[in-house]
Structure 1
Amino acid sequence: MLLDEPDRSILSIGMVVGFSSSSAFHRAFLKEVKKSPKAFREENLPNYKSKEDKMGNLSSSTRYSHSI
């Protein structure tokens, strides 16, 4: 699901597969796969950018354009 639905949040996927919180999903995923869900996505989807990454890039460019 992490790879099949890259636009779906990790929290949403954790809930769908039965975890009660994102931290519980993260801990279980880390224990099984030995990396975080985000790291797993980044390594297996070369062009993947998380929503946080996209927002960070947007706000950086917005700050830059306002300072010109």
Structure 2
Amino acid sequence: MSDETRITALEEQIAYLTKTVEELSDIVAQQEGILEKAERRLGMLMEAEALRQSESEGTVPLADQRPPHW
């Protein structure tokens, strides 16, 4: 295998890897946005449930209580 052939093969491999890294970076960025949105929604749901429990029962919200096995 000549040096020129080896260099061409390496350049092709680098181009392929670069494209793959860019695609994975885009996917990770999308997933980060989805995860942040899900975390915000979960926080809002937990707050709403804690408020609902405190208003209906007048006690400490269930999420703030220790489990019975402790």
Bigger helix fraction: 2
Higher RCO, Cα 8 Å, sep 6+: 1
TM-score by length of 2: 0.31
Larger radius of gyration: 2
Q: TM-score scaled by structure 1?
A: 0.32
